[in-house]
Amino acid sequence: MQTFITSIEELILQLEPDKFWPAMAFFIVVCPLAFYWMVRWYRNARKIENIPTAKIRSAAQGYIELIGQSLLMDGPKITSPLSGKPCVWYHYKIEEKSRIHNSKGFSRSHWNVIEEQTSEELFLLEDDTGSCVIDPDNADVITTHKRTWYKRLESPPRRFTEELLLESELLYAIGLFKSVANIEQKKIKEHITELLKQWKQNPKRLLDRFDSNRDDKISQEEWQRARNTAEWQVKQEHKQQTKMEQLHVLTTSPHNDQSFILSNVSEKKLIKKYKLKALLALIGFFSSGSLAIWAINTRLGL
């Protein structure tokens, strides 16, 4: 072991500055990034553990957790452009292999992304109390339907990666929940106007109801009171009609500490997955930081 450490120290001392310092810069950048992802992934695991699962019909507005079944909305079907498979969400990436040659004649290969796309189409999560529209934009999606394949005979070789969320399977979601009435304000105004027209068709009843000073005329103030009454009546009618017609939407939260997560993995497995990722990030944080400090101290003879 001591021999190995000594050989590494010799290598550090022999490296040219234009190679050593960029390598140290890399580790110095990796260290805080690893710490950031460690905190974020551990926080995600704790949120999934601590936030109770809500039912769509009775869910409070705000940051919540839902579990149900993924469904397509009415309209055109969603299919992955890469494989043509039907789904509710997709992400794909196409990469080309290229080689870089240095001045000493050595070469190394790496993959360049030439095309990448993520679905932004809306779909549904349904539980036994109702359905909620999922807006997947900016979601952290974890799925078991991920595959990678190659076309090595092409020039240059290509690598294809595809991730899918399929219809009619378990869907776990945590994000910002909002409910909005599924009725436009324009329609409410139209109904108010229509109701006032109906009242005008019966002048006697209109006077009996709104002619407060009994001068057989509807003054401007009395007409405004009639409009207010009509508006209240129409809104009450719409409120009753739309109690069961509210549109529920789950989307990304504006708060950075509230992650938007979609997954076909069970809640228990999701917690384990995030904790494992947090542990690996923690190891990366200490490893990169310690290595950078040790290498710089060795280089400078400290």
Window from 114-123, 134-143, 201-210 with minimum mean pLDDT? 201-210
**pLDDT at 127 exceeding the cut of 70:** yes
- Whether this prediction's pTM lies above 0.75 is answered by no
The reply to whether 194 and 48 lie within a common domain is no
CB 265, CB 141: distance < 8 Å: no
Q: Are residues 200 and 275 in the same domain?
A: no
Percent of the chain at pLDDT above 70?
Answer: 91
How distant, in Å, are the alpha carbons of 72, 147, 176 from that of 93? 23, 11, 28
- Nearest-angstrom CA–CA distance, 9 and 5: 6
Same domain for 290 and 178, yes or no, is yes
Residue 12: name the closest of 288, 206, 301 by CA. 301
Contact assessment for residue 48 and residue 174, using Cβ atoms and an 8 Å cutoff: yes
Share of the chain above pLDDT 90, in %: 54
Query: What's the confidence (pLDDT) of residue 244?
Result: 45
Are 220 and 151 contained in the same domain?
no
Do 133 and 280 belong to one domain?
Answer: yes
Determine the Cα–Cα distance for residues 89 and 138; give it in Å rounded to an integer.
12
Tell me: do 74 and 198 sit in the same domain.
no
149: helix, strand or coil = strand
Q: Based on the structure, what is the number of domains in the chain? A: 2
Pairwise CA distance, residues 168 & 68, whole Å: 9
Nearest to 169 by CA among 46, 72, 28: 72
- 142 and 161 fall within a common domain: yes
To which H or E segment does residue 270 belong? helix 267-300
Same domain membership, residue 123 and residue 95: yes
The string of pLDDT tens digits covering residues 226-260 is: 888 888 888 777 665 554 457 899 999 999 889 99
User: Domain range for residue 279?
Assistant: 2-182+243-300
Same domain, yes or no: 94 and 136: yes
Across 65-74, average pLDDT: 96
- Over range 109-134, report the average pLDDT: 94
Residue ending a domain, among 241, 269, 285, is 241
DSSP 78: P
Residue 1: band (very low, low, confident or very high) from pLDDT cuts 50, 70, 90: low
